[in-house]
Amino acid sequence: MNARRVLAIDAGQSDIKVRMNDGQRREDLAFHGIHTGTPLLPQLAQVVKDTLARTGAELDVVTAGISGLTDRDADADALLSLIRDDGVRATMLAHDSTTSFLGALGDRHGAVVAAGTGVVTLAVGESDTARVDGWGWIMGDAGSGYWIGREALDAVMRAYDGRGPATVLTDAALSRWPDLTQAYMALQADHDRVRVVASLAREVAEAADAGDQVARDIARRAARELAHSARAAVGRVRTDEATFDVCAIGGVFSSRTLHAAFIDELDDGSGLRIVAPRGVGIDGALALADITAAHPLGSAVHRAGAI
């Protein structure tokens, strides 16, 4: 890393990771996840201010990879105006698919499937990039933690009604809502409903790995969705490469059942090769500071200020 003093933010729906690197020291912090129902940039500005207060650091540039970043919120100038008085001279914003890719594969060609609460796939070829999904819990995020949690709740209520087989996932639901008949009302009233539903993905992973057939079916269907997204993204950027690297990152892949099914889905003779990630999203958020406009991902970075 060069001499610039960087504060990098990896902003997800479940949590926000922060890394401060001023050239002399590096410090990592964590905050509660972004609230999608309230303005984004003031949340990021507060994270910057809280980090500075806790670390006493001085900064040149703030970079951020943001889950579900929209054109409306991708206003680097507006963020800079909120934190300029804190000594920040430049800001760089990108969708978390960009920073996930940089963290996992760096400057290599390939595809990264980043599956946590939500999911997005990004493929980078010789000159083109392709993003697949990442369209949020209402319209997309197939195979994500939320998707898995939603499928789990569906299975639980089917078992409750006698429309589906019994599953140990019922115990996970009961631990949150002792009266299952009232669970849907509680969720609808909960502003944190996306995170709550996504948190069930952990129990699905444990149940699937322990042999629960309902959970295993959910995990395998999630893997099928994630592999489908990977193939779609690669197909849009691949030229004449005999093999093309695919990297799977995020908490969803901590399920042994899901991860194995994902690998099986991609093992179709098309030359897609699973590779281990070099790092994680916060590493990519820090690397964002060195991305130039000439890089294939350069057009995906929103910039303001100068350093």
> pLDDT for 34-57, tens place per residue?
887 789 999 999 999 999 999 888
Same domain, 111 and 254: yes
Question: What does pLDDT average to over the chain?
Answer: 93
Same domain, 159 and 239: yes
Sign of the alpha-carbon dihedral angle for 291, 128, 261, 220: positive
Q: Which of 126-140, 220-234, 285-299 has the lowest mean pLDDT?
A: 285-299
**Helix/strand/coil (H/E/C) assignment for every residue in 92-116:** EEEEHHHHHHHHHHCCCCEEEEEEC
Same domain, 23 and 116: no
Same domain, 244 and 113: yes
Count of beta carbons in the 10 Å neighbourhood of residue 30 = 11
pLDDT for position 3: 57
pLDDT for position 2: 47
Q: Rounded to an integer, what distance in angstroms lies between the CA atom of residue 58 and that of residue 86?
A: 8
pLDDT for position 1: 40
Same domain, 98 and 124: no
How many structural domains comprise the chain? 2
What is the distance of C-alpha 94 from the center of its chain? 12
Q: Which of 61-65, 249-253, 290-294 has the lowest mean pLDDT?
A: 290-294
pLDDT at 235 over 50: yes
Q: How confident is the model at residue 214 (pLDDT cuts 50, 70, 90)?
A: very high
In eight-state DSSP terms, residue 33 is P
Same domain, 135 and 169: yes
Same domain, 115 and 264: yes
CB 64 within 8 A of CB 43: no
Which pTM value belongs to this model?
A: 0.81
Q: How confident is the model at residue 67 (pLDDT cuts 50, 70, 90)?
A: confident
Q: How confident is the model at residue 97 (pLDDT cuts 50, 70, 90)?
A: confident
| Tokens coding 47 | 């994270």
Q: Is residue 50 part of a domain?
A: yes
Same domain, 153 and 260: yes
Sign of the alpha-carbon dihedral angle for 198, 100, 97, 72: positive
**155-192 burial, b if ≥16 CB within 10 A, otherwise e?**
bbbebbeeeeeebbbbebbeeebeebeebeeebeeeee
DSSP, collapsed to helix, strand or coil, labels residue 14 as coil
Same domain, 34 and 68: yes
Provide the β-strand partners of residue 130: 123
What is the distance of C-alpha 157 from the center of its chain? 28
State which residues form the domain around 120: 107-274
| Predicted confidence (pLDDT) per residue in 172-192, tens digit | 999 999 999 999 999 999 988
Q: Is residue 1 part of a domain?
A: no
Q: What is the pLDDT averaged over residues 273-287? A: 92
Q: Rounded to an integer, what distance in angstroms lies between the CA atom of residue 91 and that of residue 301?
A: 10
Q: Rounded to an integer, what distance in angstroms lies between the CA atom of residue 150 and that of residue 183?
A: 12
- CATH number at 180 reads 3.30.420.40
Count of beta carbons in the 10 Å neighbourhood of residue 138 = 8
- Selection from 90, 98, 5, 14 nearest residue 55 by Cα: 5
Q: What is the pLDDT averaged over residues 232-238? A: 95
